[in-house]
Amino acid sequence: MKTFTWVALAVALLLGVAVAPFASSRLDGLERVAEDNGFPGRGEGEPLVSSPVPDYAFPGVGSEGWATAAAGAVGTLLTFAVAFGLAAALRRRRDK
């Protein structure tokens, strides 16, 4: 399971770091529908919680591509770590 996990995590990292900077920046499906029907502005304005890495661009990184790559790396590893922790915690509670 170890080999599979590390290889799969490496694939995820590769996608988040090396491919994500080249992803399409067009509006997504919901944004397009909002734009076409005159309600995109409703989603703008001050966010309730200011996110540390807004719009998948790591702050302070000059180039847009590298900012996305950094956000991809941090997000992929953070998601892995939190998911592992929660799943392991759920399993431990079963053993009790």
Partner 1 sequence: MHIPDGFLDAKTFVALDVVGAGFVAVAAARVRRVLNERAVPLMAVLAAFIFAAQMLNFPVAGGTSGHFCGGALAAVLLGPWAGVLVMTLVLVIQALAFGDGGILALGANVFNMAVVAPFVGYGLYRLIRRVWRTEAGRFAGSFAGAWLAVVAAATACALELAVSGTTPLAVVLPAMVGVHAVIGLGEGVITAAALAAVRVSRPDLLELARGGGAQ
Give, in order, the Cα–Cα distances in Å from 61 to each of 9, 46, 48, 82, 93: 24, 23, 24, 25, 41
Could you say whether residue 1 binds partner 1 (CB under 8 A)? yes
Largest CA distance in the chain: 54
Could you say whether residue 37 binds partner 1 (CB under 8 A)? yes
The residues of the shown chain that bind partner 1, judged by CB under 8 A, are 1-2, 4-5, 7-9, 11-13, 15-16, 19-20, 23-30, 32-34, 36-37, 39, 42-45, 47-56, 68, 71-72, 74-84, 86-88, 90-91, 93-94
